[in-house]
């Protein structure tokens, strides 16, 4: 019966701990989302700045896994280079140590207090920031309370001969025991998928006196290896650079653990020297009150040391993973990949990734415009007309695919708690992607109409002059809006609406003039239908360009 009680209490405590970590992390992401986006956007090629960015972002989101998965996504979308990503990962390993310091506080005293303080702004806060602040405090309380439950549940294990015999090997002070502890820490972290949770369990075991400091320190080393599985899984289906980033993370942690493992007894002695007090000291209440600080210190010393040792060799590591993960076939195009569930990505940065994809749509539509104009002006070799039309259709298909990816990605993101601005940004991105896709559709239609009859017959003299004047006006109208979207600039909506109305009237006038020319017998009647369809397509492009401007401006003004 005692064993069953221990099991369900530990599981319950772990569940409370997990929920607290998730709540705190999501609330921090919501509050700090714009700050994170700014930090990432100002990233330079300097390895020191990349390290600092990794530290700051991970401290803000309270998860190195979130940071590394986010970095894999950035590399996959072409937002950063491999060596920049590796620098951020070095920093993420340092930033995640703050979690150990948070949970090394004497948790028994503060868990329920933090829950009680945090629940009121969480439930009754009038603003999103106040509610998120309450959620952060509530999450910290849940972390403390969950650890207190686990620590209490583990205490009876100190007096169970069967359990002590089972872990006796791991308690020995030799390299075999150290290696076994590292392996167990790695395996359990792979299973739990959270190094922070495993760190919490390790601290709970240590504070209960079930394991000693040297065993806990070895488990923490293994947890640093096990946490790399998250980024490795995130890179599955990604491009070659994403795979290299994830593997760089794994190799970096493996090499770091190997270095510390070789000098492990001295490493433990150094932590004992650095932090006052015996880590295995027991107070009057039977609590191991000093061991948690030792574990947190060991975690920090390991990650800071590994980063400092390998930082000068950052580009060497990048070259190594490039060599072991070579390019296959033609150079890959960056593309948005559904990394399972966007819940692993900070919302602000997930939206940045989606925006990069929307920018790619703009680039494809721009190229479609240029190719379509060349086709209509007769600047394409007659033997390559069909090939050109096929290329226009391939561009249209590419836009269609990216639009579906963005929409699915953003809809999954909207299932998460977002700030009002993030929600507006997400909805705008789906609208923008839809408008770009619609513009590419109508350009493909224009290309198709050119097959009905020879372009030189349909668009000669006055009819051609009218049509190309309208085409250029609408193209420039679209280009202006597209440029504002790309540069994230505000649009004068009043001027934009006036110009849109002028283009609509111009299209109707040109269409009417051609019908008059047909009525006068200057053009074949069949040209009226095709010419009208061409004008209608241009008018639709104008309309979708206007919608594109509206979607973009909503974000600017949010």
SS (H, E, C) 443-497: HHHHHHHCCCCCHHHHCCHHHHHHHHHHHHHHHHHHHHHHHHHHHCCCCCHHHHH
**Does residue 337 lie in a domain region?**
no
Question: Can you tell me the distance from the alpha carbon of 225 to that of 200, in angstroms, rounded to the nearest whole number?
Answer: 16
**Does residue 52 lie in a domain region?**
yes
Q: Is the same domain home to 313 and 415?
A: no
Q: Is the same domain home to 473 and 368?
A: yes
Q: Which residue has the higher pLDDT, 371 or 523?
A: 371
Q: Which residue has the higher pLDDT, 231 or 43?
A: 231
**Does residue 21 lie in a domain region?**
yes
Q: Please tell me the predicted confidence (pLDDT) of residue 527.
A: 73
**Band of pLDDT at residue 141, cut at 50, 70 and 90:** confident
The residue from 256, 290, 324 where one domain ends is 324
Six-digit token pair at 446? 């224009």
Q: Is the same domain home to 283 and 353?
A: no
**Band of pLDDT at residue 364, cut at 50, 70 and 90:** very high
pLDDT tens across 184-209, in order?
A: 888 888 887 777 778 888 888 888 77
Q: Is the same domain home to 311 and 387?
A: no
Q: Which stretch of 63-72, 118-127, 434-443, 547-556 has the lowest confidence by average pLDDT?
A: 63-72
Domain boundaries, position 247: 2-324
Task: Say whether pLDDT at 43 is over 90.
Answer: no
Decide: 376 and 451 in contact? Cβ < 8 Å. no
**Does residue 335 lie in a domain region?**
no
Question: Can you tell me the distance from the alpha carbon of 426 to that of 409, in angstroms, rounded to the nearest whole number?
Answer: 10
Q: Is the same domain home to 359 and 307?
A: no
Question: Can you tell me the distance from the alpha carbon of 191 to that of 189, in angstroms, rounded to the nearest whole number?
Answer: 5
**Does residue 267 lie in a domain region?**
yes
3-state secondary structure of 26: helix
**Band of pLDDT at residue 98, cut at 50, 70 and 90:** confident
Task: Say whether pLDDT at 544 is over 90.
Answer: yes
Q: Please tell me the predicted confidence (pLDDT) of residue 332.
A: 46
Task: Say whether pLDDT at 458 is over 50.
Answer: yes
Q: Which stretch of 22-26, 166-170, 484-488, 503-507 has the lowest confidence by average pLDDT?
A: 166-170
**Band of pLDDT at residue 108, cut at 50, 70 and 90:** low
Q: Is the same domain home to 315 and 352?
A: no
Count how many domains the chain has.
Answer: 2
The CA-based dihedral angle spanning residues 89, 92, 97, 98, taken in that order and rounded to the nearest 10 degrees: 180
**Does residue 332 lie in a domain region?**
no
Q: Is the same domain home to 316 and 350?
A: no
**Does residue 334 lie in a domain region?**
no
Greatest CA span in the chain, whole angstroms? 108
Q: Is the same domain home to 252 and 368?
A: no
> Which string of b and e fits 331-364 if b means at least 16 CB within 10 Å?
eeebbbbebeebbbbbbbbbbbbbbebbbbbbeb
The burial class, CB within 10 Å (0-12 / 13-18 / 19+), for 63 is: buried
Q: Please tell me the predicted confidence (pLDDT) of residue 459.
A: 77
Q: What is the mean pLDDT of residues 120-138?
A: 85
> How confident is the prediction for the chain on average, in pLDDT?
81
Decide: 342 and 413 in contact? Cβ < 8 Å. yes
């Amino acid at each position: 019966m005692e064993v069953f009680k221990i099991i369900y209490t530990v599981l319950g405590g772990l569940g409370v701990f997990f929920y607290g970590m998730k709540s705190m992390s999501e609330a921090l992401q919501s509050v700090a989302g714009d700050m994170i986006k700014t930090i990432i956007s100002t990233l330079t090629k300097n390895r020191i700045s990349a390290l600092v960015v990794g530290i700051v972002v991970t401290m803000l989101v309270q998860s190195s896994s979130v940071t590394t998965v986010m970095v894999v996504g950035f590399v996959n979308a072409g937002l950063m280079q491999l060596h920049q990503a590796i620098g951020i990962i070095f920093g993420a390993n340092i930033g995640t140590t703050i979690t150990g310091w948070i949970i090394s506080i004497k948790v028994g005293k503060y868990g329920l207090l933090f829950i009680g303080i945090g629940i009121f702004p969480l439930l009754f806060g009038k603003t999103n920031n106040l509610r998120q602040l309450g959620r952060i405090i509530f999450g910290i309380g849940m972390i403390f309370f969950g650890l207190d439950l686990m620590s209490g549940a583990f205490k009876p294990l100190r007096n169970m001969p069967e359990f002590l015999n089972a872990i006796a090997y791991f308690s020995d002070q030799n390299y075999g025991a150290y290696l076994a502890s590292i392996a167990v820490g790695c395996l359990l972290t792979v299973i739990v998928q959270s190094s922070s949770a495993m760190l919490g369990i390790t601290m709970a075991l240590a504070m209960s006196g079930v394991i000693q400091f040297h065993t806990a320190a070895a488990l923490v080393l293994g947890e640093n290896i096990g946490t790399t599985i998250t980024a490795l899984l995130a890179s599955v289906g990604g491009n070659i650079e994403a795979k290299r980033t994830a593997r760089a993370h794994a190799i970096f942690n493996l090499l770091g653990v190997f270095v510390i493992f070789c000098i492990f007894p001295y490493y433990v002695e150094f932590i004992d020297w650095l932090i006052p007090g015996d880590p295995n000291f027991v107070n009057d209440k039977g609590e191991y009150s000093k061991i948690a600080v030792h574990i947190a210190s060991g975690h920090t010393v390991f990650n800071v040391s590994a980063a400092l040792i390998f930082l000068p060799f950052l580009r060497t590591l990048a070259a190594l993973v490039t060599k072991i993960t070579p390019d296959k076939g033609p150079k890959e195009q960056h593309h948005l990949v559904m990394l399972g569930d966007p819940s692993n990505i900070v919302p602000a940065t997930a939206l940045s990734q989606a925006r990069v994809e929307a920018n790619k749509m703009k680039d494809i539509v721009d190229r479609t415009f240029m190719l379509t104009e060349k086709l209509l002006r007769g600047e394409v070799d007659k033997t390559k007309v069909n090939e050109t039309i096929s290329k226009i259709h391939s561009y249209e298909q590419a836009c269609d695919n990216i639009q579906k990816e963005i929409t699915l990605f953003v809809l999954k993101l909207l299932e998460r708690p977002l700030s009002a601005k993030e929600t507006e940004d997400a909805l705008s991105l789906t609208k923008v992607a839809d408008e770009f896709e619609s513009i590419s559709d109508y350009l493909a239609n224009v290309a198709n109409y050119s097959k009905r009859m020879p372009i030189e017959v349909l668009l000669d003299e006055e009819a051609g002059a009218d049509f190309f004047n309208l085409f250029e006006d609408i193209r420039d109208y679209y280009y202006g809006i597209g440029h504002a979207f790309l540069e994230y600039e505000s649009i004068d909506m009043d001027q934009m609406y006036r110009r849109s109305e002028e283009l609509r009237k111009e299209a109707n006038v040109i269409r009417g003039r051609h019908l008059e020319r047909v009525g006068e017998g200057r053009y074949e009647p069949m040209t009226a239908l095709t010419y009208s369809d061409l004008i209608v397509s241009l008018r639709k492009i104008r309309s979708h360009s206007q919608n594109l401007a509206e979607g973009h401006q909503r974000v600017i003004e949010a």
